[in-house]
Amino acid sequence: MTIAYLINQYPKVSHSFIRREIAGVEACGIRVARFSIRSCSTELVDEADKLELEQTRVVLGRGMVGLLFGLLSVAVTKPIRFLQTLWLMLRLGWCSEQGVLRYLAYLAEACVLLGWFADSGVTHVHAHFGTNSTTVAMLCRALGGPPYSFTVHGPEEFDKVKALALAEKVERAAFVVTVSSFGKSQLYRWCAPKQWSKIHVIHCGVDDGFLAQPPVAVPAEPRLVCVGRLCEQKGQLLLLEAVHQLATEGLRFKLVLVGDGPLRAEIKALIARLGLQEYVEIIGWASNSEVRQHILASRVMVLPSFAEGLPVGLMEALALGRPVISTYVAGIPELVKPGVCGWLVPPGSVEALTAAMRAALQLPVEQLEQMGRAGAEQIAQRHDAAVEASKLVALFQSSVENSQNQAIEIPPDVNYAPASIPLGATDA
């Protein structure tokens, strides 16, 4: 059995949880073929990501000529399937924000992948995020490709349910994974009850690089860390307002921002405007080992998000025995128990965030370590990447078995791609 993983950008700095999941699937004896729509190779800093890049085929690496050739090859060799899928593409494109031309590109990508999947012996496709990668997987399936499943993370999928045709993607999928009970409830909102049985909660997780770390004492130094992409939804601008308030009160401490993103320039400008240069440091993207060191050097991790799925950064901090401060958003309350392993505050509340940070800076180290131990135990029980991957493997095996049983009743002329079609002859 060969499972194809399809992601819009892979490997990516902020998608280490996908890399861990793939490693867990492979540890169960399943062959995984990696496919990415586009590359972000210039951003990679972790050696593990660079190794993943060497194993990943990039669809847009084919160029315009390769995409057009793939499209025309499928149109000629599978005209009925192609026309049916073309109509599906037009219907989806008309209802989307991107428009029909973008969806035509998705169809061309699906045609290229149709050949690549056949060449690789792919029996099932799993996409991460219910956005364009799942759109391509669905179009490929409509062309006669392998069954697909996908993992919904949020918040983007839940912000644009109709534009993304999320309900149709669920209906056409073999099964659907979500990373939290909150995410499952949101899919229940938009999907027919008869589809609910195919929706499963499988958590993102951390690996032994975090789970097997020997305990490190919480430092006495008043240092906080925020790990995450520098963007609107992570709330770093609000975090700086809280830092300014605490600095005005006379507290001495340091906040380290680990990550990068579109708000970096605005965050730097606000740091200068508020005179917080001695209080805040921006590190940029860091490798897994560097992230671990920054977390361990801090008393608490802070992530005041406005919108989320279930942040892996919080899992990493808890696994390393560090309490966290975050918000009552999406799946976060399923991860962070207030007073047990951290603090939760209303999203958007500077006052509540400031109070939680003040408490974290003033709390005795012994209490912080007690909270850290409670968090580490919870992560080990519910967010072990290897354990969660084994649950996903069981779903893959069930899907492949069901597909093989159904194939007995399907005429042979609808097999998804004859090996003689050279769509995947050129590697990315």
* Same domain, residue pair 155 and 76: yes
The answer on 242 and 124 residing in a single domain is no
Q: 417: which 2 tokens?
A: 């791609």
Q: Are residues 325 and 250 in the same domain?
A: yes
Q: Are residues 103 and 216 in the same domain?
A: no
pLDDT of 403 reads 81
Do 70 and 417 meet the contact criterion of CB atoms below 8 Å apart? no
In this structure, the answer to whether residues 245 and 360 fall within a common structural domain is yes
- The one-character DSSP state at 259 is B
Burial of 412 from C-beta contacts in 10 A (0-12 / 13-18 / 19+): exposed
Handedness of CA 360, 364, 368, 370 (dihedral sign): negative
Asked if residues 101 and 47 have their Cβ atoms less than 8 Å apart, the reply is: no
The per-residue pLDDT for 428 is: 33
Domain limits for position 75: 2-205+384-424
Regarding whether 302 and 413 lie in a shared domain, the answer is no
Give the chain's domain count: 2
β pairing state of 56-58 and 124-128: unpaired
Q: Hey, what amino acid is at 210?
A: F
Query: Is the domain of 279 the same as that of 343?
Result: yes
Structure confidence at residue 407 (pLDDT) = 59
Q: 3-state class of 147 per DSSP?
A: coil
Residue the block writes with tokens 């308030």? 245
Residue 257: strand pairing partners: 226, 282
The per-residue pLDDT for 43 is: 80
Regarding whether 392 and 366 lie in a shared domain, the answer is no
pLDDT at 410: 42
**Residues 166 and 243 occupy one common structural domain:** no
Query: What pLDDT was estimated at residue 231?
Result: 95
What is residue 274's predicted lDDT score, i.e. its pLDDT? 98
40 and 178 share one domain:
yes
Task: Give yes or no for a contact between 113 and 145, defined as CB atoms under 8 angstroms apart.
Answer: yes
Residue 417, pLDDT score: 39
Q: What are the b/e assignments for 325-342, b being 16+ CB within 10 Å?
A: bbbebbbbbbbbeeeebb
Three-state helix/strand/coil letters over the chain: CEEEEEEEECCCHHHHHHHHHHHHHHHCCCEEEEEEEECCHHHCCCHHHHHHHHCEEEHHHHHHHHHHHHHHHHHHHCHHHHHHHHHHHHHHHHHCCCCHHHHHHHHHHHHHHHHHHHHHCCCEEEEECCCHHHHHHHHHHHCCCCCEEEEECCCHHHHCCCCCCHHHHHHHCCEEEECCHHHHHHHHHHCCHHHHHHEEECCCCECHHHHCCCCCCCCCCCEEEEECCCCHHHCHHHHHHHHHHHHHCCCCCEEEEEECCCCHHHHHHHHHHCCCCCCEEEEECCCHHHHHHHHHCCCEEECCCCCCCCCHHHHHHHHCCCCEEEECCCCHHHHCCECCCEEEECCCCHHHHHHHHHHHHHCCHHHHHHHHHHHHHHHHHHCEHHHHHHHHHHHHHHHHHHHHHHHCCCCHHHCCCCCCCHHHCCCC
The CA distance from 72 to 195, in Å, is 35
- Indicate whether 30 and 164 sit together in one domain: yes
Query: If the chain, 428 residues long, is cut into consecutive pieces of 10 residues, what is the mean pLDDT of each piece?
Result: 97 92 97 95 85 96 96 97 97 94 97 98 98 98 98 94 96 98 96 96 94 93 97 97 98 97 97 98 92 97 96 96 98 97 98 98 97 97 97 95 69 40 36
CA count, 13 A, side-chain hemisphere, 36 = 20
**pLDDT value for 193:** 96
Query: Angle CA(156)–CA(209)–CA(8) in degrees, nearest 5?
Result: 30
Q: What's this model's pTM, rounded to 2 decimal places?
A: 0.90
Q: How many CB atoms lie within 10 A of CB 63?
A: 11
pLDDT (0 to 100) of residue 33: 98
Helix, strand, coil shares, percent, the chain, to 5: 55, 15, 30
Check which CATH number belongs to the domain holding 303 and give it. Answer: 3.40.50.2000
Tokens of 124: 């099932």
Q: How far apart are CA 171 and CA 297, in angstroms?
A: 46
Q: Are residues 377 and 396 in the same domain?
A: no
